[in-house]
Amino acid sequence: MSGRLSVVGLGPGGDPWLTHEASTLLGEAEDIFGYGPYLARLTLSPHQRAHASDNREERARAEAALALAAAGAKVAVVSGGDPGVFAMAAAVVEAIEAGPLEWRALPLQVSPGISAMLGAAARLGAPLGHDFCAISLSDNLKPWAIIAQRLKAAAEGDFVIALYNPASKARPDAVVDAFALLRALKHADTPVALARAVGRSDERILLTRLADVDTGLIDMATLVLVGSSETRFVERPGQPTLMLTPRTYGARR
C-alpha cells in the first residue's frame, strides 16, 4: 500500500503562521480535502486536486480522504488553526476507529498548526502566561450541561478561559448563557478579549471587562479570552494595549 494521509494545520491566518512542515506536506499531496474557504487559501499545482466540502461534513470528509489514501493516493486533509484542537484530527481518528481494518494500516501524519488561541494571545501580549483551559461552546456534539459544568470548573479553578466556536448556528444563545454563568462566578472587572479573524486582513481585537461584554459582537470567527483573577491590561502610549496573565500567582502590584 503506497497511500498515506496527512492532517495539516494551516494556522488561523495566512502563510506567515504556516509551519515549514505544513508547506512541505501540502506540496507533496496529490489530493487535498477541506472546508472550501480553507482550500481557497492554498495555491495548488496543476497535478493537485482539491476536494471542498461544507464545514458540517467533517466525518464524511475524513472517510472520503481515508478511502482515497487506502486506494493508494497521497492525501492531505487541511484544518484551520491546529487540526488537533476542535478540528479535523479527531474526525479522522474517529473514522479510523470505526472504519475498515485497512484504514488502521495507513501511515497517518498529523502536522500541528497555530491554534486560534495562540494567535490571539500573540496579538494581545501574554494572556495565556499562566494556567488556562479551552472550551468549545458548540453543543452539536455535547450537551449544554457538560459545557456549563466545564465553565463552572474553569471559574472555580481560576483558569484563563479560551472559548472556541462561541456562536454555533445550532445554539446561538450558547454565548449569552455562557457569559451569564461566568458573570455569576467571576469578578465584573475580569479582563476579556474578543479576537476576531486573527491573522486575516479583517482582524479586529476588542478589549473589555466581563461586566461589559457585548455578546452581539461575537461571531464564529471570534476567539474569546476571559482572564483569571490575575489577568490585567498594560496600557502603552502609541502602541496597542497588552493583556497579561503574569507567571507569578498571588503577587498583585
Which 71-100 positions form the footprint of a copy of itself (CB under 8 A)?
82-87, 89-94, 96-97
Q: Please state, in angstroms and rounded to a whole number, the distance separating the CA atoms of residues 38 and 84.
A: 16
Burial of 27 (0-12, 13-18, 19+ CB in 10 A): exposed
DSSP assignments along 48-65, one per residue: -EEEEE-TT-HHHHHHHH
Q: How far is CA 68 from the centre of its chain?
A: 26
Give φ, ψ of 233 to 5 degrees. -100, 145
Q: Does 246 help bind a copy of itself (rule: CB under 8 A)?
A: yes
For position 15 contacting a copy of itself by CB under 8 A, the verdict is yes
Residues 180-239 that bind a copy of itself (CB under 8 A): 234-239
**Rounded to an integer, what distance in angstroms lies between the CA atom of residue 166 and that of residue 21?**
30
Task: Find where cell 458548540 sits.
Answer: 138
- Residues 96-135 touching a copy of itself, rule: CB under 8 A, are 96-97, 101, 104-108, 110-115, 118-119, 121-123, 125-135
Q: Is 242 exposed, middle or buried (0-12, 13-18, 19+ CB in 10 A)?
A: middle
Residue selected from 70, 136, 167, 227 as contacting a copy of itself according to rule CB under 8 A:
136
Using DSSP, state whether 168 is helix, strand or coil: coil
Helix (H) or strand (E) holding 239: strand 239-244
Please report how the helices 174-185 and 144-156 are oriented relative to each other, as an axis angle in degrees rounded to 10.
30
CA–CA gap between residue 51 and residue 194 (Å, rounded): 32
Nearest approach, Cβ of 193 to a copy of itself (angstroms)?
13
Which residues inside 139-168 make contact with a copy of itself, applying CB under 8 A?
141-143, 146, 149-150, 152-154, 156-159
* CB nearer a copy of itself, residue 103 or residue 216: 103
What residues between 35 and 64 interact with a copy of itself by CB under 8 A? Answer: 58
Based on CB atoms, which residue is closest to a copy of itself, 45 or 248? Answer: 248
Nearer to a copy of itself, 115 or 190 (CB): 115
Compute the least distance from the CB of residue 156 to a copy of itself, in Å. 5
- Please give the size of the binding site for a copy of itself, defined by CB under 8 A: 82
Q: Which is nearer to a copy of itself, 212 or 235 (CB)?
A: 235
Residue 16 as a binder of a copy of itself (CB under 8 A): the answer is yes
Q: Residue 23 or 173: which CB sits closer to a copy of itself?
A: 23
**CB nearer to a copy of itself: pick between 210 and 244:** 244
